[in-house]
Amino acid sequence: MAALLDFNHREKKPGFADVVNALIDTALTAENAERPARDYLGGSRLGDACQRRLQYEYLKVPKDDGAEFTGRSLRIFALGHVLEELAIGWLRKAGFDLRTRNRHGEQFGFSAAGGRLQGHADGVIVAAPDGMAVPALWECKSANAKNWRDIARRGVVKAKPIYAAQIALYQAYLGLTDAPALFTAINKDSCEIWHELVPFDAERAQSASDKAVRILRACDAGELLPRHTEDPEHFECRFCAWKERCWA
């Protein structure tokens, strides 16, 4: 008897969009793989909840299989940079003298602990309307609608302690402690913008600096710092690129 024909069978072929997207993502991940890895502890990361994760980052410990940045993650980072450029233009049009480079054409930044701790600021405001005190650190972040609403509702210090630690540390190291920092948050979904002034918090800056020393010392001594939680299902761990290694 002849085999029955299956007219409903369709071999799932990648569509046009899948093909183009894959080409883009392959190009982005290849480009990212060529970038030299950071060989210092980033000041912007010190507010991370987990000091062990910061150790893994600093020591360039290989991430778990499949935990490298995807093309989509890299596009999200790139979009953040584009939005930051837009925010610079908006503030300048509004009358803020916002500088993003020093007189040598370099990004404002600092280096401590023999170059093992570094940070690069988004900008410094040297003149502003409405009597805002200057010079002031400027930091800009973009966020999805949920996170942006939380920042706008509770303020950056409560909603995003990691950004608050970065701001305090940069104010301290860049000598911008007299004037509150200007913090900008852009809602990636709706293009709403949020601005707030963040006064210098010496305790917060000291705590971030002490944390950096603790991490660098532990790395030098070959010691693994404690996890931030006893629960491997903690949301910080669920999205951690070293989860398997950490809890193995």
Contact footprint for ligand SF4 (CB under 6 A) = 50, 52-53, 227-229, 236-237, 240, 242-243, 246
Contact 108, 101 (CB under 8 A): yes
Provide, rounded to whole angstroms, the least separation between the CB of residue 201 and ligand SF4: 25
Provide, rounded to whole angstroms, the least separation between the CB of residue 219 and ligand SF4: 14
Provide, rounded to whole angstroms, the least separation between the CB of residue 65 and ligand SF4: 15
Cis, bond preceding 180 (omega within 30 deg of 0)? no
Separation between Cα atoms, residue 194 and residue 33, nearest integer Å: 34
Complex with ligand SF4: residue 181 or 240, whichever CB lies closer: 240
Provide, rounded to whole angstroms, the least separation between the CB of residue 37 and ligand SF4: 18
Complex with ligand SF4: residue 160 or 243, whichever CB lies closer: 243
Q: CA of 191: how far to CAs of 70, 96, 117, 160, 194, in Å? A: 25, 20, 33, 19, 10
CA-derived radius of gyration, the chain: 22
Complex with ligand SF4: residue 63 or 75, whichever CB lies closer: 63
Complex with ligand SF4: residue 214 or 228, whichever CB lies closer: 228
